[in-house]
Structure 1
Amino acid sequence: MIYKFRKYKDIDFFVKNIPKTKRDEEYTIVYKCNGLDFSKSNPFTQKCFGCLFCIFDNDEVFKSFKEFWGDDFINKYSNESFQGNPIPMPNAKKALKNPIKNLEEFTGVDETSNIQPWTSGIVNHMCSSFNRVGMEIPVFNNDYDRNGRLDVCSMTSDKLIAIETKISLDDALKDERFIEQNYKYTTEIEKSIKNYNYITLFGGKETDLYPATSPYCTGKIGSKSKRFYDIVTTNNIKFISANALWCLCCRYLERGNKYSWDIFLSQLFSDLNCIGLLSAGKVVSNNEIISIESF
């Protein structure tokens, strides 16, 4: 499935809907996932790992998706998500010889061709109202030598979500640029709009993001989980895993607008103690204790 977006001079022009040109740009992930073959009656192949990107805007494709994965696929994951334990992402039916067998592996490599367009497609369609998406929107801040680019943005008539994508926790911790980006980007966003959420989204192995006290945490070696939570709590950084965004999309598809980004995520992060979202639930920091709450 191929979707469209437009390019903008900077974040202020995006908020005000002043594109560089009236020409649409196109984006997709189908050439990377190899999960579709439209020469077949059911276009989904054994390499599809159920990422949900291609099911929007086409009822026939969505029908084929449910035939391929089963009518209860989305409802099953919707009901199992955010219940206190990590949700393993579905594997492609032909996983052994498939270079990418699931969403974690897909979002864990090639940021600009994988996690960034995938996030754009999900966010664009997981909304309660019409919205525009943009990618790599320039952000100029005179306090820094280096200008930045917001990886993914979506704007309704009055609300903005801005997302910085990372392929993994390990990758983000190499240079810790996401700390500077959080301050630099939110400072500029607030000059254009007050009603917004800025989120860092992590691909790759989700359990690396679990607090060190969690039995599911795989980030204890080298204390990277502790280091991560020290960073996000000190710098007021809100985060989501790619797995959690996928689970939230399942909830949205099953239960409707209550779980759209413009309603659910705004309410979620209005709780000052909520710092993140994982497939197990919302991550809460209270009196220096990190916990995961189901919902």
Structure 2
Amino acid sequence: MIYKYRKYKDIDSFVKNIPKTKKDEDYTILFKCNGFDYQSGKFTKKCFGCLFCLLEDPEMLKKFNYLWGADFIKEYADKTFKGTPVVLPNAKLTIKNPIKNLELFTGVDETTNIQPWASGLIYHMCTKPNRISMEVPVFNMDYDRNGRLDICSMTNTDLLAMESKISLDDALKDERFIEQRYKYTIEIEKSTSKYTYLTLFGGKETDLFPISSPYCSGKIGGKSERFYSIVIENKIPFISAAALWGLCCRYITYGSDYAWDVFLKNTFSDSDCIGLLSAGKVMNSNRKISIIPF
């Protein structure tokens, strides 16, 4: 499936819907995942069920169900956000298939993998008509280098902005996401006060679990402790790729209650909610971190 977006001069132009040109740009992930064969019109056994192709054409959902089963999406919708990390599905063909699941796919090549994948889901997981764009320029004269917001979606009233990272390790290498949060927020608020701004993490989700969780894989070297210190002190709400995938399963199964302009907007309007993992909402109460299923 190939989707469309337009480019914008800066974040203010995006919010005000002033594109650089009237030309649409194409984006897809099919050349990287090889999960759909356009010649045969069928999903292949290399498909790892990322949901990118299903949200616009009902026929694609039928073809997907033929490969995975009619109850596949509902089963994951019902077992995600239940207190434990969801085990993402593997492609049916894993031999000679270097990308066998969403964790591996989102853990490499940010601009060709996690960024367009998330854009495709977000664009369709909305109760209202919305615009999507990627790498929207952000100019801030107080910093040496300008930046780009990786993913932006805008309804007639609300903005969702995301900065994407392929893994926690990648984000912690230079900690640029801290500076990005500050300077991008300043520029966003010049254009709108109605926004949700999240950092999206791909790769190994359990690295993002708090050290109090038995599922945390980021205890060695203090990685998880360092991460939570950063996000709490700098007010950086986050979401994992697995959580976005699970939310999409719920959106397909149960509808608009799980659209981004309803669920993400309401969830992160609670100042105690600092993150969303496939196990549930990550809540901070006086620096006591807990995961709340729902």
SS of the residue aligned with 2:283? strand
Query: Counterpart in 2 of 1:103?
Result: 102
Deviation at residue 96 of structure 1 after TM alignment: 2.6
Query: Counterpart in 2 of 1:21?
Result: 21
Deviation at residue 38 of structure 1 after TM alignment: 2.3
Distance 2:181 2:87 in 1: 29
**Structure 1 position 120 matched with structure 2 position 119:** yes
Listed as ranges, the matches of 1:90-239 within 5 Å are 90-239=89-238
Deviation at residue 39 of structure 1 after TM alignment: 2.3
Larger mean CA deviation between 229-238 and 94-103 belongs to: 94-103
TM-score, normalising length: structure 2: 0.99
Query: Counterpart in 2 of 1:56?
Result: 55
Query: Counterpart in 1 of 2:3?
Result: 3
Q: Please list every run of 5 or more consecutive structure 1 residues that lacks an aligned counterpart in the other structure.
A: none
Distance 2:3 2:111 in 1: 15
Residue-by-residue CA offset, 1:132-157 (whole Å, 9 max, x unaligned)? 00100000001101000000000000
After superposition, the CA RMSD in angstroms is 0.6
Deviation at residue 287 of structure 1 after TM alignment: 1.4
SS of the residue aligned with 1:237? coil
How many residue pairs get aligned? The number is 294
Distance 2:285 2:61 in 1: 41
Residue-by-residue CA offset, 1:108-141 (whole Å, 9 max, x unaligned)? 0000000000010000001111000010000000
Query: Counterpart in 2 of 1:38?
Result: 38
Q: What is the one-letter code of the residue matched to 1:3? A: Y
Query: Counterpart in 2 of 1:278?
Result: 277
Q: What is the one-letter code of the residue matched to 1:179? A: I
Distance 2:18 2:269 in 1: 29
SS of the residue aligned with 1:170? helix
Query: Counterpart in 2 of 1:267?
Result: 266
Q: What is the one-letter code of the residue matched to 2:236? A: I
Q: Please list every run of 5 or more consecutive structure 2 residues that lacks an aligned counterpart in the other structure.
A: none
Distance 2:278 2:178 in 1: 23
Q: What is the one-letter code of the residue matched to 1:247? A: G
Residue-by-residue CA offset, 1:80-133 (whole Å, 9 max, x unaligned)? 010000001100000132110000000000000000000100000011110000
Listed as ranges, the matches of 1:76-95 within 5 Å are 76-95=75-94
Q: What is the one-letter code of the residue matched to 1:28? A: T
Distance 2:140 2:38 in 1: 45
Query: Counterpart in 1 of 2:12?
Result: 12
Distance 2:56 2:239 in 1: 25
Q: What is the one-letter code of the residue matched to 2:211? A: A
Deviation at residue 58 of structure 1 after TM alignment: 1.3
Deviation at residue 61 of structure 1 after TM alignment: 1.1
Deviation at residue 47 of structure 1 after TM alignment: 0.3
Distance 1:246 1:57 in 2: 16
Distance 2:163 2:34 in 1: 25
Deviation at residue 57 of structure 1 after TM alignment: 1.6
Q: What is the one-letter code of the residue matched to 1:75? A: K
